[in-house]
Amino acid sequence: MSVTIRVEQMIPADAETVWSDISDLSSHTEWMADAESIVFLTDQTSGVGTAMEVLTKVGPMSTRDVMTFTVWEPPHRMAIDHRGLVTGTGEFLLQPEGDGTRFVWEEELDFPLRLGGQIGAVVGKPVLEAIWRRNLKRLAERF
């Protein structure tokens, strides 16, 4: 019932500059069209252990998910544990390439039976890939 989703985008800025932008977690709603709001559940707002509740909306469906950061390696990698209706893990990787940065977004998600289990994962994967590709294009436009 799990699916791996991976999208990539070249960003016309160095990894340190991109990291500076994405490490401001509250700004993710500015470039993630599916992230409606972010509320921090911890006093800290960055680094390992930071937890936040994200209201996510995809089409008519919305869910509140808790993301807890498990890896924080500036300026190259941050990873989360994702708990909610859909659970799993995810990470952002920033890889210097030429004059820019290749941004890789990968998540391993488990779809519950009430979302169709494996069928939901198969149907949901291309939808999420398309949304995340658009999100990364929006992020790249910030530079």
In this prediction, residue 111 has a pLDDT band, given cuts at 50, 70 and 90, of confident
Domains in the chain with CATH codes:
2-140 (3.30.530.20)
CA–CA–CA angle 99, 105, 81 (5° rounding): 135
Q: Please give the torsion angle defined by the CA atoms of residues 76, 121, 62 and 126, in that order, rounded to the nearest 10 degrees.
A: 70
Mean pLDDT of 138-143: 97
Cα distance between residue 28 and residue 80, in whole Å: 14
Mean pLDDT of 125-135: 93
* pLDDT above 80 for 116: no
pLDDT recorded at residue 120 = 67
- 7-32 b/e (C-beta count within 10 Å ≥ 16 → b): bebebebbbebbbebbbebeebeebb
Mean pLDDT of 122-128: 82
- For residue range 96-105, what is the model confidence (pLDDT) as tens digits? 999 999 999 9
pLDDT recorded at residue 20 = 97
Percent of the chain residues past pLDDT 90, beyond the cut: 78
Cα distance between residue 65 and residue 37, in whole Å: 11
Backbone angles phi, psi at 141, to 5 degrees: -70, -15
- For residue range 19-74, what is the model confidence (pLDDT) as tens digits? 999 999 999 999 999 999 999 999 999 999 999 999 999 888 888 999 999 999 99
Mean pLDDT of the chain, nearest integer: 93
